[in-house]
Every structure is written in C-alpha cells, then in structure tokens.
C-alpha cells in the first residue's frame, strides 16, 4: 500500500503592489500585441510574491480564467464563436484541467518546475516566431 | 511507506470560485452539447452545418460563416440573439456557451461575498483584496453587459 505525502509549506504572500504593477505589464503586452501572456503569471506569483510553485501554478489558472471570462464576451456578442468547435474544445480543456490538477498535487515541486521551464521556453520561442512573422522578418 | 502528514487545504475563496464556476460551466457545456445534437439531427437549424464545416476547413472567417451559412441575417448583430432562438439547436448551443461563461462571473461574485465572512479577511491589507475582488466582479459584469470590450 502506497500513501502520498503532503508537505505543509508555510508562506506569506509578499510585494502585492509590485505584483499588481507587473500584472498590469503582463496585461498590457497581451492586449497590445495579442500574443497571450498568461504564461507570465506563474513566474510573477512565484518569484515576486514568494508563492510556492504549486500554489503559483494553481493560482495562475484562476487568474487566467478570470481574465479570459472578461475577454470572451466581445467574441460571444460578435458571433466569433462557432459552437460545434468551441464546445468540444471547452469539454476537453476542462477534462484536462481536472486530470492535471489531480496529478499536480501528487508530483514533486521539482518536476513541476522542470515542466514549467519547458513550457515557458516553448512559449518564449513561439512568441519570438510570432513577433518576427508579424514584423515580416520570417 | 510514506507517512501521511496532512492534506493542504485550499483557501475558501478558491473553493467557492472553482466549484461554482466548474459546476455552472459543466451545466452550460452539457446544454451546448445537447444544442449541437439537436441542431445536427433536426435538419431544420438556423445554421447549415455542412456548409459551416466546409467553410471552416477552407479557411473562411467566422464573420463570413455566420453571414453565409446561417439564416440569422441582421439579428446576428444584436447582443445575445441566441436567447430568442431557443427553438433551434444553435440557439440552445450558444445559450449553453453563454451559461458556461457566466459561471465565471458567479464564481467571482462568490469570492467577493466570501470576503465578508470575517472582519479580519475583509480588512486584510487594509481591504486591498476585497477591493480587488470587487473590481474584478465589476469588470466582468461590465464586459458581460457589453459596456467594455477586453479582447486579447
């Protein structure tokens, strides 16, 4: 029989005002260039607000979902959503999020960190490629 | 064998937001799936699904698709037109999507209300988090009303 170990980490959220300013910057970049900057939320929570990595990843999902809720209304009201494609996407996303959140509780923070670094690298490269293609360089 | 220490408990605001938004979103998506099934099987929908899929696969924009593959006409330019089209599958599907999105607003409202459970929580950091949660709720309500547009 294998039991899981849940380590309790006492932490205190710091530098909330600085984080608010940085989140404004994240939103500004996202809004100006339409690149999507949700990936930048976790580093701000973890590195600036001193939130543990697992808490930061879970909190970033909440923050992104709140932002996306506000952002989806113009698309809904301007008929930019096609139900036959949107519905399976949401259903798949929710299933993946449910599975992912259960896995995240059980894996070690180091694993989460390496996966996060990989995702950030991928997102960074993708944003550079998108930016260069928008500039007509590639 | 590893020893069970204690399972960390997420904050009550997180539980309220997560559970409320998730339940309402699941209900909305179930309604939307039912709408798509009704629309595809009824054969009398406001959208021609065969043309829609063909146009999507050929790279047509969503504006072209709604203009050419649906019978909405000028009605599509009104906000929440689908609430008046619940006798069609697409109307039901779009309503389901709208309900799923509204789940986020109800969840955010839940966060704000949960702040009032104690004076300590309400006035933590001079009420900064209470004010921020109120601002989030207001932004979401204004976005839902079409007053502000936060595309990204």
Nearest CA in chain B to A68: B152
Do the domain assignments include residue A8? no
pLDDT at position A2, please?
A: 46
Two tokens, residue A109: 């923070």
Contact list, B150 vs chain A (CB under 8 Å): 31, 67, 70-71, 73-74
pLDDT at position A1, please?
A: 42
**Residues A87, B22: C-beta atoms closer than 8 Å:** no
Rounded Cα gap, residues B129 and B123, in angstroms: 8
Do the domain assignments include residue A4? no
Number of domains in chain A: 1
**Residues A71, B63: C-beta atoms closer than 8 Å:** no
- State the best of A35, A87, A91, A108 to mutate against chain B, taking most chain B CBs within 10 Å: A87
Digit-coded pLDDT (tens) for A36-89 = 667 788 889 989 998 888 888 888 888 888 888 888 888 888 877 888 888 888
Nearest CA in chain B to A95: B26
Domain that holds residue A21: 16-108
Digit-coded pLDDT (tens) for B72-127 = 766 666 788 888 888 889 889 999 999 999 999 999 999 999 988 888 888 888 88
Provide ipTM, 2 decimals: 0.80
Nearest CB partner across the interface for B25, out of A4, A5, A94: A94
* A8 pLDDT tier (thresholds 50, 70, 90): low
Cβ–Cβ contact A62 with B under 8 A? yes
Measure in Å the smallest separation between the Cα of A117 and chain B Cα atoms. 24
Higher pLDDT, B151 or B144: B144
Digit-coded pLDDT (tens) for B13-51 = 888 998 999 999 999 999 999 999 998 888 778 888 888
Range from A10-24, B56-70, B92-106 carrying the lowest mean pLDDT: B56-70
Cβ–Cβ contact A80 with B under 8 A? yes
Do the domain assignments include residue A49? yes
Do the domain assignments include residue A122? no
This prediction has a pTM of: 0.79
Assess contact for B32 and B93: CB atoms under 8 A.
yes
Do the domain assignments include residue A38? yes
**Residues A71, B32: C-beta atoms closer than 8 Å:** no
Do the domain assignments include residue A42? yes
Do the domain assignments include residue A2? no
Assess contact for B55 and B69: CB atoms under 8 A.
yes
Do the domain assignments include residue A130? no
Nearest CB partner across the interface for A36, out of B17, B56, B152: B152
């Amino acid at each position: 029989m294998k039991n899981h170990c849940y380590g309790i980490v006492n932490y205190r959220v710091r530098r909330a005002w600085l984080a608010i300013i940085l989140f404004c910057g994240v939103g500004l970049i996202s809004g100006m260039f339409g690149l999507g900057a949700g990936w930048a939320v976790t580093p701000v929570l973890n590195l600036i607000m001193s939130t543990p990595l697992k808490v930061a990843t879970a909190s970033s999902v909440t923050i992104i979902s709140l932002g996306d809720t506000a952002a989806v209304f113009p698309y809904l009201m301007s008929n930019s959503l096609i139900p036959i494609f949107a519905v399976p996407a949401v259903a798949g996303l929710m299933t993946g999020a449910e599975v992912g959140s259960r896995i995240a509780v059980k894996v070690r923070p180091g694993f989460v960190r390496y996966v996060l670094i990989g995702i950030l690298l991928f997102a960074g490269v993708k944003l550079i490629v998108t930016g260069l293609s928008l500039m007509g360089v590639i | 064998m590893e020893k069970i220490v204690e399972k960390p408990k997420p904050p009550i605001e997180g539980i309220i937001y997560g559970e409320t938004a998730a339940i309402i979103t699941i209900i909305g998506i179930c309604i939307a799936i039912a709408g798509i099934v009704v629309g595809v099987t009824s054969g009398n929908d406001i959208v021609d699904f065969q043309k829609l899929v063909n146009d999507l696969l050929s790279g047509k924009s969503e504006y072209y698709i709604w203009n050419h593959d649906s019978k909405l006409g000028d009605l599509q330019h009104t906000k929440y037109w689908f609430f008046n089209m619940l006798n069609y599958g697409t109307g039901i599907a779009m309503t389901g999507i709208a309900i799923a999105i509204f789940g986020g607003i109800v969840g955010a409202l839940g966060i704000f209300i949960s702040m009032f459970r104690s004076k300590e929580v309400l006035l933590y950091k001079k009420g900064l988090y209470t004010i921020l949660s109120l601002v989030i709720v207001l932004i979401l309500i204004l976005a839902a009303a079409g007053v502000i547009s936060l595309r990204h």
